[in-house]
Amino acid sequence: MINSIIDRKLKTIYLDWLIITDPTTQAQTLTRCPDTIAFHVNEHFQTLGQSLQDLESISNYKSISDIPPPFRDIYRHLSHISPSTYDSVLILITIEEVTSTISSLPNHKASGVSDITYEDIKHLHKDFFDFIVNFFNDILTSGHLPNG
């Protein structure tokens, strides 16, 4: 989607063979089957290179008692900090803040891994900035980050 907005051509990597390691036996197999290659590449990026078993074994912490004992003190609520301390960071973001911040970004800087430069962002349509403002304000008000 971003590439079409900034009128940039999609870069593609073609894999015509893949060595697959069996997680149980550690045996390696060479494949040239496009469907098998596509499956394993997709699985790799969905799991960030970790095995599905490793990802399934990660605990979801719902309370402080779910956290391993050595780390509980780090995440325990600090009673000496006023609940209003962080109120200023939860104020809704305005379109003026976004446009002001984006317009103040320096030009002629290298892009990151996304290949999106500050100039690209500065040339996006105003509707995109409205979307960004709504997106982040929804996160602030709901307290939930979207998955993936």
From residue 133, give the alpha-carbon distance in Å to each of 67, 98, 143.
Answer: 34, 7, 15
The conformation of residue 88, written as its DSSP 8-state character, comes to: G
pLDDT digits (tens, 9 = 90+) for 79-118: 888 878 888 888 999 999 999 999 999 998 888 888 899 9
Give this prediction's pTM.
Answer: 0.45
Domain boundaries, the chain: 84-148
